[in-house]
Amino acid sequence: MNYKDIAERIIELKNADLEFRDKLIENGQLGEGYNEEMAKIHNRNAEILNQIIDKIGYPTVDKGGKEASEAAWLVIQHSIGQPVFMKISLKLLEVAVNENKANPKNLAYLTDRVAGFEGKPQLYGTQFDWDENGKLSPKLFDDLTKVNQRRKSIGLNTLEEQTDIIRRQAEIENQLPPQNFGERKQEIEKWKKTVGWTK
């Protein structure tokens, strides 16, 4: 098994994802729902990475280096149309982090990502979305003090600091809140059912 080739392939998947995201930012389309072409890229990347994981297990740092391991996490983080793959990957990442072979921050982000899609409170407050006031805010989380303690334990800033950063970034990327908050919420719930996050 040539880990170097596999690492390069995983990095290619990440690059294809981010290049398309940049294109959406340039065209001012990033905030306009889940772009169909982007969904295709995410699903294709998840499929390829899933095949790689079947062969080598979770792409930890010792299997191809830090860049490939980070790239694999990004592909998983973006595989939102593949709940089964995302949940299995979360379990594998948990094991890797416990063995000191992967980044605990990545585990925090993926844990919150899955919780958010399942309608459960976040533990680290890493996932944001537009609120009814047209501001990017953390999705549902359990308790601010606990969230900040957990964030601090893995080297993240406070949730308040992160909220400022996220809002500034959205301005730079010309992201705009949805025109109809209620409609968008309904669309998201419908999509979650369609791909299998909820019943």
pLDDT in tens, 96-138: 999 999 999 999 999 999 999 999 999 999 999 999 999 999 9
- Read off the pLDDT of residues 141-154 as tens digits, 9 standing for 90 and up: 999 999 999 999 99
CA-to-CA dists, residue 181 to 35, 118, 154, 187, angstroms? 18, 20, 33, 10
d(CA 136, CA 30): 14
CB neighbour list of residue 61: distance below 8 Å, 6 or more residues apart: 69, 101, 102
Q: How much of the chain exceeds pLDDT 70, in percent?
A: 98
Q: Residue 31's closest CA among 160, 181, 141, 196?
A: 181
d(CA 53, CA 37): 24
d(CA 149, CA 54): 35
Element (H or E) spanning 128, and its range?
A: strand 128-130
- Read off the pLDDT of residues 73-92 as tens digits, 9 standing for 90 and up: 999 999 999 999 999 999 99
Domain extents for the chain? 1-102, 120-199
Count CB atoms within 10 A of the CB of residue 76: 28
Q: Give me the pLDDT at residue 48, please.
A: 97
d(CA 124, CA 73): 17
Q: Residue 87's closest CA among 69, 108, 114, 106?
A: 114
Question: Quick check: 186 and 193 in contact, CB under 8 A?
Answer: no
Q: What integer is the mean pLDDT of 167-192?
A: 90
Return the amino acid letter for 193.
K
Q: Residue 21's closest CA among 2, 40, 46, 38?
A: 38
